[in-house]
Amino acid sequence: MTEDLCFRSATELAGMLRSREISARELLEAHLERIDRFNPTVNAVVTLDADGGRIAADSADAALAAGEPVGPLHGLPVAHKDTHATGGMRTTWGSPLHADTVPLRDELVVARLKAAGAIRIGKTNVPEFAAGSHTFNPLFGATHNPYRHGLSAGGSSGGATAALAAGFVPLAEGSDMGGSLRNPSAFCNVVGLRPTPGRVPTWPAPMGWSQLSVQGPMGRTVADVALQLSVMAGPDPRVPISLTDDGAAFAVPLPTSLAGLRVAWAPDLGGRVTVDPAITSVLASSVQAFTDLGASVAEDCPNLSGADEVFGTLRAWLYEAQYGEISRRYPERVKESIRWNAEMGAKLTGPDLARAEQLHTKLYERMTAFFERYDVLLAPTTQVLPFPVEMEYPTEIAGVPQGDYLEWMRSCTLLSPTGSPALSVPGGFTPGGLPVGLQIIGPARADRRVLEVGHAFEQATGFGSRRPVL
């Protein structure tokens, strides 16, 4: 019964909690037992507050018994990414510089989940300052992929996706600048949404107008992600780019028909990325499901010229602003890839930033025109399969050298500056049993659409229901 509870969907568990078929305390204990048993091997949860979780779960049960109103996530255990500030709970950012940092208050995404009734149990592992798409750091070591010990869980939200895949939590959250919600979801056979910038407001944020990094939900099913988005989304007056739509609309049940949907399939993003042939082979077969569901599918890709320069410039600018000073002050305590990116940012000129913004504008206009012809774009989430945890990043793909720690994840970084919501869903498995992710991209602000399409694909294929053996 314990393992069964730990792998039920969050939407099903939410119903069981409301009907009092199970208690929040019972659900919590089931997950704590599983964490105790398997986390030493997976290394997904790096800070655990079992006692605090029990107090919160007991309070949740008492509130329901008293007939008090409860939130949409009532009683559901959740773990927060260790780059998201949690009041009264250690938040390290995966850095020795913050090994003992305990924030005074929750940041907005954490506070919204708590207000919706979620039970905080701890923090999930991240790369140092969330830099890179492989989860390891000097404080806690590497997170292992639940589907194959010794392989990467992806990153930077790798601890979160590994925790979901291993049954440690039914819901988790993360952030995504260059693929940090999408890449690890693909590696761990779960669902992760990079929302439209502003859909999930980030506060506090040192650069509140930036749209490159976003926060978003992750779960084992698309419906679970939609449920979580319904409480994470919504306006906040302190966040200048926050969208005004009420998040509650995302909780409405998702359809399963794709009749009439116009789909573009870009197996290598128009020749711009190198993809492991093992991934292409799996997805080429899986995409057939869209035709079976009534959609029309054509191989096509928007013109992504300039996207590399936009992403690279804006990322370097942000890294210099956020990590330049500490990189110069404590170079021996900040990993080389962060120092390199901050140094790139320090070399930027005003004309460099102006050119990036001009290219950014043209890119958005071309994406808008593309989505007048298609409803969604499909692409591989990752260019590589999960790789050994000892590697910092893949240095080649199908014999093609990768120049730096960002190049191997361009299937995500090219799409980050487009303003489009992008959903990674389980897209199948290699013959050797490794997960492959499919990326579903929609026009800006069409977050509901990509969730609907992802849900229909998920229900038709069942790839997400295949669990790891730990």
Sorted by where each begins, the domain ranges of the chain are 2-465
**Confidence at residue 1, expressed as pLDDT on a 0 to 100 scale:** 57
Q: What is the pLDDT of residue 32?
A: 98
Decide: pTM greater than 0.75: yes
> Who's near 372: CB < 8 A, 6+ residues apart?
none
Question: Could you confirm whether 180 is annotated as catalytic?
Answer: yes
Catalytic residue, from 9, 23, 156, 286: name it. 156
CB atoms within 10 A of CB 8: 18
414 and 272 Cβ atoms separated by less than 8 Å: yes
pLDDT along the chain (470 residues), means of 10: 87 98 98 98 98 98 98 98 98 97 98 98 98 97 98 98 98 98 98 98 97 98 98 98 96 93 98 98 98 97 98 98 96 95 98 98 98 98 98 96 93 98 98 98 98 98 97
Q: Look at residue 2 in the predicted model and tell me its pLDDT.
A: 67
- Spatial contact of 5 and 27, defined as CB atoms under 8 Å apart: yes
Please pick, among 9, 23, 81, 411, the residue that the annotation labels catalytic. 81
Amino acid making up residue 37: R
pLDDT of residue 160: 98
> pLDDT value at position 403?
87
| pLDDT score at 405 | 87
> Span 2-465: which CATH code?
3.90.1300.10
Going from the C-alpha of 231 to that of each of 108, 248, 348, 465, the distances in angstroms are: 11, 7, 38, 25
Answer for the pair 143, 128: CB distance below 8 angstroms, yes or no.
no
What separation in angstroms does the CA of 254 have from each of 227, 452, 454, 456, 459? 11, 5, 9, 8, 11
The rounded distance, in Å, linking the Cα atoms of 440 and 442 is 7
Of these residues, 180, 210, 327, 337, which one is catalytic? 180
Within 10 angstroms of residue 28's Cβ, the number of other Cβ atoms is: 23
Spatial neighbors of 217 by CB under 8 A, at least 6 apart, are 171, 172, 173, 192, 193, 200, 224, 225, 228, 229, 232
pLDDT value of residue 404: 87
